[in-house]
Each structure stands twice: as C-alpha cells, then as structure tokens.
C-alpha cells in the first residue's frame, strides 16, 4: 500500500466496509502526524465485527465510533421513519459558517459517535450533530438499548507540532444525490464548510447543479376524471360558445 501523496491535505473515508490494513494504518498515521486532515463518513455496519485500526485513529483525537444503530423518537426530528434522522446541529466552527437554512439534512440509518470524557490539553473537540432525548440506540455487539441524546458527528483537532483535524460522522448516505436533492444539497455545504475549517479558510459559496430530470405529475383518479371532462367536453364547448357569440356580434354590426 502506497503512502498518502505528498501534495494531499485531506483524505476521505466514505462508508468503508472493512478495517484499515496494518500498512494503511501506518501510512494514515504518518500523514496525520505531518498535519494531514481526514473526514470519516461511517455507515452502520451489517455485522458486529469491529474495526480496531479505525478505532485507533479516532482514539488519537479523543473520539470513538460506536457500533450501533440510532432511532429518533421525536417526530420533529425524523422524516417518516424513526431511522431517517434530522440531526440537530451544534454550534461549532463548521455550522457557524453556514446559513441557518443550510443546517438541516436527512440521515438514514445512523450510528453514534462519542467524545472521550478525559480531557487532553492538546486535543480540542467539538460536537457536530446530535439527536433528541427521545432517541435510542441499539448496540450491534450486545443488543443493549440506550436512551439519547446521542452525537452523530464530531470534530477534533490534534494540536501538536503539526496540527491535524478530523471530522467523524456516523453516516455517509446524507451526501448522496437522492438525499441531498431534498435538502438543497445541504450535505455538500456541510462537507465544504468542514474542509474550509480544516484549511482555516472562510466559507465558500456552493451552487448546486440543477437536475435535468423532470418529475412526473401524479394525479388521483378523481382528478384525472375531472381533467378528462374539462378537456374533452367543457373546454371545447366553451370555445364553440365563444365562437358563436363572436359570430352573432359581428352579424349584427
């Protein structure tokens, strides 16, 4: 496995299905020790198998990724199903650079993250997203159920000789087109704002591309029947009546 390229500043991990290999872990830690940043978008696992090498990276930044699935019980903070969470954004260096209208996203099938309680003076952590106190999580390892609120994302900066930052989010689906189209691409705005935070840049403007696909118009049976009557009978009769009226008026001029 090759080292991270010298000109790279940030690496992405999007929904990895397996753990880092030992050499990959070594290369990633070497990259971070030189000031490299990373964004981890981690989906719920289909198995109870843990990822100790990823956990080692998160531990370096006083974060932890929990092997669970989170359900939201507050109807104000989920979309149709308990598994589709609308996370509550925390105030942090990422969200403060976003317009309030850009803060809501849909996160289906989330796992939680944790910030270590033991403070380290060289680590600065910030919560990113959280659930309500009506949420609950089920451990995929033990089946134990816990009551919220839970963190769904967190930021951390390792303030060593070469400062390094990471973002850990317990969901990757929120940045897919299917889910971003319903939120004006707010997921992309979060990622862009995170990158700006990592590079100490001011917020940039993102203009989502307009979809070229046309949405079908769905009509009920009663609406279809009314439209049929109007277009087939009433509209032609109205046109004929107007024509007769104009003809009579002209005839008597």
**Rounded mean pLDDT of the chain?**
87
Provide the terminal-to-terminal Cα distance of the chain, rounded to the nearest Å: 93
The pTM score is 0.78
Q: Nearest-CA neighbor of 108 among 178, 58, 6, 161?
A: 178
CA atoms of 47 and 77, how far apart (whole Å): 27
Dihedral sign computed on CA atoms, order 77, 78, 80, 81:
negative
Q: How far apart are CA 248 and CA 154, in angstroms?
A: 78
| DSSP conformation class of 72 | -
Confidence of residue 253 (pLDDT cuts 50, 70, 90): low
Indicate the SS3 state at residue 80.
coil
CA dist., res. 204 & res. 206, Å (int): 6
What's the confidence (pLDDT) of residue 205? 53
* Burial class for 101, CB neighbours closer than 10 Å (0-12, 13-18, 19+): exposed
Mean pLDDT of 129-136: 95
Average pLDDT over residues 107-130: 90
* Residue 183 pLDDT: 87
The answer to whether the CB of 137 falls within 8 A of the CB of 82 is no
Counting every residue, how long is the chain?
Answer: 253
Structure-token pair, residue 99: 């317009």
Note the pLDDT tens digit of each residue in 166-189.
999 999 999 999 899 888 899 999
**pLDDT score, position 119:** 67
- According to DSSP, the residues that pair with 38 across neighbouring strands are 11, 166
More confident residue, 104 or 210: 104
Could you give the percent of the chain with pLDDT greater than 70? 88
Q: What is the pLDDT of residue 220?
A: 65
pLDDT at 191: 93
**Each residue of 188-241: pLDDT tens digit?**
999 999 999 999 886 555 454 554 444 455 556 777 677 777 677 777 777 887
DSSP designation for 162: S
Q: Tokens 């609308």 — which residue?
A: 86
Q: What is the pLDDT of residue 174?
A: 94
**pLDDT in the model for residue 226:** 76
Residue-wise pLDDT tens digits, 26-75: 999 999 999 999 999 999 987 778 899 999 999 999 999 999 999 999 99
Q: What is the pLDDT of residue 234?
A: 75
- CA-CA distance, 86 to 77, in Å (whole number)? 5
């Amino acid at each position: 496995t090759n080292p991270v390229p010298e000109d790279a500043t940030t690496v992405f991990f999007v929904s990895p299905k397996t753990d880092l290999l030992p050499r990959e872990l070594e290369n990633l830690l070497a990259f971070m020790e030189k000031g490299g940043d990373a964004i981890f978008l981690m989906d719920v696992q289909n198995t109870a198998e843990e990822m100790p090498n990823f956990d080692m990276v998160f531990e370096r930044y006083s974060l932890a990724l929990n092997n669970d699935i989170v359900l939201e019980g507050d109807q104000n903070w989920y979309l149709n199903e308990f598994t589709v969470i609308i996370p509550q954004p925390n105030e942090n260096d990422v969200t403060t650079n976003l317009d309030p209208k850009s803060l809501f996203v849909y996160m289906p099938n989330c796992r939680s993250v944790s910030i270590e309680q033991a403070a380290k003076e060289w680590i600065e952590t910030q919560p990113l997203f959280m659930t309500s106190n009506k949420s609950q999580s089920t451990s995929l390892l033990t089946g134990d159920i816990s009551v919220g609120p839970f963190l769904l994302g967190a930021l951390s900066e390792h303030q060593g000789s070469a400062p390094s930052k990471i973002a850990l989010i317990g969901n990757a689906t929120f940045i897919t087109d299917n889910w971003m189209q319903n939120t004006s691409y707010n997921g992309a705005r979060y990622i862009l704002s995170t990158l700006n935070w990592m590079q100490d840049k001011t917020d940039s403007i993102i203009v989502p591309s307009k979809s070229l696909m046309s949405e079908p118009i769905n009509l009920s049976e009663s609406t279809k029947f009314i439209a049929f009557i109007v277009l087939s009978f009433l509209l032609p009769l109205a046109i004929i009546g107007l024509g007769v009226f104009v003809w009579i008026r002209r005839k008597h001029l």
